[in-house]
């Protein structure tokens, strides 16, 4: 890292390569990653090790990891500005995870709500990794001495645990880890399902019309928005009880930059049909450069390999500083 970069705060985030990313992933994470790399010393990873807590088809997983890496670059993350890598390529993640597991209490892991949720969904495969993966998540963050971690509502508990682990380790062994703070985006649009606006948009939803993927074709995007669930009011306005319209207005506001007031004004004398078509067209156009960049990148395997190998090398060098310090603190003999 250069001297200029060193002065910037470090921000770290990761995304699992389980299927094609949705519009929710794009607006909630990837779009922000692009902005954050300008103001912070950013580290972004494809969290492929985390994906193993549920059974994966190896060939499909390999394809999804490469595709996810290409999508991240296609969205505008610049590997020359950001540390961009694949988690499993940096062995220090697994090594630090073991040390941190030994400094994490069973009761703390047992209280994790995501473990309970995922156990219910995967009753035939409640494995130890599913239970201990918050320790791996802590390793992901603490290896890079991150100042900030962007978190959604479903990850707040894990970041709190990471902070507790870091503080406990520092108290036991002396100052070793930076205790990270949550980064809450100023405009945190939570994108909901198009078929059920009371639940979050998810790529695992059985109803294909409930989510938009980043790589959906324009005609597919418009068709899905036309089928979006709304209400019987027919007035385009942001209000309590209008969850479907509120969700569409949030999406439209993010991709056009228009305020809710301006949107209400623009569609004052128009119905939901016109509005849903406008949202679909705006989203399709907004995602067009991402789709085009992705097609170009995924066809250039040599360039992608060059990027992720260089990223892994840089990440490993940085992570090794922290791991060497940790090994010395806990009493291991240096190699």
Q: Give the tens place of pLDDT for each residue, 221-236.
A: 999 999 999 988 888 9
3-189+301-330 folds as Rossmann fold (3.40.50)
| Domain layout of the chain by residue ranges | 3-189+301-330, 208-295
**For residue range 303-318, what is the model confidence (pLDDT) as tens digits?**
999 999 999 999 999 9
Q: How confident is the model at residue 4 (pLDDT cuts 50, 70, 90)?
A: very low
- What pLDDT, on a 0 to 100 scale, did the predictor assign at position 154? 65
Residue 265 designated active-site: no
Least confident of 16-20, 78-82, 118-122, 214-218: 118-122
Q: Which residue of the set 203, 270, 314, 325 is catalytic?
A: 203
Is residue 31 over pLDDT 60?
yes
Residue 276 designated active-site: no
The fraction of the chain above a pLDDT of 70, given in percent, is 93
Mean pLDDT, the chain, rounded, equals 90
- What pLDDT, on a 0 to 100 scale, did the predictor assign at position 321? 97
CB-CB contact of 15 with 25 (8 Å):
yes
**How far apart are the two ends of the chain, measured CA to CA in Å?**
25
Q: Which residue of the set 200, 224, 242, 276 is catalytic?
A: 200
Is residue 22 over pLDDT 50?
yes
Task: Name the superfamily (CATH) of residues 208-295.
Answer: Tyrosyl-Transfer RNA Synthetase (1.10.240.10)
Is residue 88 over pLDDT 90?
yes
Residue 200 designated active-site: yes
Q: Which residue of the set 8, 9, 118, 329 is catalytic?
A: 118
Q: How confident is the model at residue 1 (pLDDT cuts 50, 70, 90)?
A: very low
Is residue 181 over pLDDT 90?
yes
Q: How confident is the model at residue 205 (pLDDT cuts 50, 70, 90)?
A: confident
Q: Which residues sit opposite 44 in a β-bridge?
A: 13, 84
Sign of CA dihedral 109, 111, 112, 117: positive
Sheet arrangement for strand 181-183: 83-86, 41-46, 10-15, 148-150, 181-183
């Amino acid at each position: 890292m250069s001297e200029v970069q060193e002065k910037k705060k470090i921000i770290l985030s990761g995304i699992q390569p389980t299927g094609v990313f949705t519009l929710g992933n794009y607006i909630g994470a990837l779009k922000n990653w692009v902005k954050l790399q300008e103001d912070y010393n950013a580290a972004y990873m494809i969290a492929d090790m985390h994906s193993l807590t549920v059974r994966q088809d190896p060939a499909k997983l390999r394809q999804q990891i490469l595709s996810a890496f290409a999508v991240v670059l296609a969205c505008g993350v610049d590997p020359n500005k950001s540390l961009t890598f694949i988690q499993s390529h940096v062995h220090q993640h697994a090594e630090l995870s073991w040390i941190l597991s030994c400094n994490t209490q069973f009761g703390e892991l047992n209280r994790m709500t995501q473990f309970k949720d995922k156990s219910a969904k995967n009753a035939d495969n409640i494995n130890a990794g599913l239970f201990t993966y918050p320790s791996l998540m802590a390793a992901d963050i603490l290896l890079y001495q991150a100042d900030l971690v962007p978190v959604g509502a479903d990850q707040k508990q894990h970041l709190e645990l990471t902070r507790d682990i870091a503080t406990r380790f520092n108290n036991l062994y002396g100052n070793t880890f930076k205790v990270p703070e949550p980064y809450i985006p100023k405009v945190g649009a939570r994108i909901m399902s198009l078929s059920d606006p009371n639940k979050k948009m998810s790529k695992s939803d059985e109803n294909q019309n409930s989510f938009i993927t980043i790589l959906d074709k324009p005609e597919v995007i418009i068709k899905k928005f036309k089928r979006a669930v709304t209400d019987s009011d027919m007035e385009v306005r942001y209000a309590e009880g209008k969850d479907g319209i509120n969700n569409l207005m949030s999406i439209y506001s993010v991709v056009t930059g228009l305020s809710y007031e301006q949107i209400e004004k623009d569609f004052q004398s128009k119905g939901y049909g016109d509005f849903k078509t406008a949202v679909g067209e705006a989203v399709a156009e907004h995602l067009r450069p991402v789709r085009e960049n992705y097609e170009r990148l995924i066809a250039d395997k040599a360039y992608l390999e060059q990027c992720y190998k260089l990223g892994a090398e840089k990440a490993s060098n940085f992570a090794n500083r922290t791991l060497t310090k940790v090994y010395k603190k806990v009493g291991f003999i240096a190699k």
